[in-house]
Amino acid sequence: MKKTITTGPMEMMEHALALRSGRTLEVREYGDESGHPVIFFHGLIGSHHQASYIADQARQNGLRVIAPNRPGVGRSGFTRRTTPLDAVPDVEELAEALGLGEFSVIGISGGAPYALATLSRLGHRVQTATIISGMGPPQLPGALDGMDRRRRLLLGIGSRNPRLARRAFQEAADRFQADPERFLPRLIATWSAPDRMIFRRREVFELFLRDLHSVFTEGVGAEGLAQELALYRNYGFPLRSLPKDRRVTLWQGLADTIVPPAMAWALVRALPNCEALLVPGGHFMAVDEAHRIVARLREQLDEPASLENQT
């Protein structure tokens, strides 16, 4: 099923893809329908709505952004997974259904492991890989330095104990469902000053409310979030095994306390071929840096020389 949804100046194409497993994969497209395909992996807590951060810039630069909801988010059917590599068959089915050959990947925040897993398995088809405020393996040396203490505790304990993680996320879900307009400001108050400033904009605030509804109201909520938290500790592949002829571009906010700059530096040391761009702002810096992020991706696509020998 496919339908077009219009919200102001932005047009989005919505799909409900029936996978061979019998599950449904909910997908939204943004940008230029005839442009270069970019598969966008949303964060935790998040949904395909996050791709709208870069939608206008994608359309202006000839990019077709394809954003699936992960299992248990929105109308995407839940399934058990043990590593991010388990998501790659869904990507392959999605690419087949849409007639994609080569494509790019973007992973934002908790979507980073899925973008890198796709690069690991389908590197011959992935032209560019972009990671925004990306959550890498927490066991990388020094990766969690500067992370907010409460989130560090949740990640450290919850990723090892799914039962405790489910309980914590269920409490959050109950608070959200009781009063969404009160829940989100309390969450925002725990973020960095640049992030709090961004969320004073009503359109950004409402976008994240839609994310939370996709997770806690339409999706399975705590069950899916607890599973994803555990996957961060088990990528299923070593980062050093990623193809050396594919550069990973990291974008990181210097004031991020959710996924701190230390994580970006840890990824720089672990990835075989990457560039890191540290910019002002917090975890949600993509809202203001979308033009630069998309412009760099476009530059990489337009570069005639292979990145194979670059370091």
Tens digits of pLDDT across the chain (311 residues): 444 443 333 457 898 999 999 999 999 999 999 999 999 999 999 999 999 999 999 999 999 999 999 999 999 999 999 999 999 999 999 999 999 999 999 999 999 999 999 999 999 999 999 999 999 999 999 999 999 999 999 999 999 999 999 999 999 999 999 999 999 999 999 999 999 999 999 999 999 999 999 999 999 999 999 999 999 999 999 999 999 999 999 999 999 999 999 999 999 999 999 999 999 999 999 999 999 999 999 999 998 644 444 44
Estimate to the nearest angstrom the gap between the alpha carbon of 183 and the chain centroid. 22
> Looking at residue 78, what DSSP letter applies?
P
pTM (predicted TM-score): 0.94
Q: How many CB atoms are located within 10 Å of the residue 110 CB? A: 24
Q: Measure the CA–CA gap between 232 and 151, rounded to whole angstroms.
A: 13
Q: What is the pLDDT of residue 304?
A: 66
Q: What is the pLDDT of residue 11?
A: 55
**Contact 193/282 with Cβ under 8 angstroms?**
yes
Q: What are phi and psi of 15, to 5 degrees?
A: -125, 150
H or E element: which one contains 18? strand 10-18
Q: Which residue has the tokens 């259904």?
A: 97
Q: What is the pLDDT of residue 167?
A: 96
- Output the six-digit token pair for 141: 């040396």
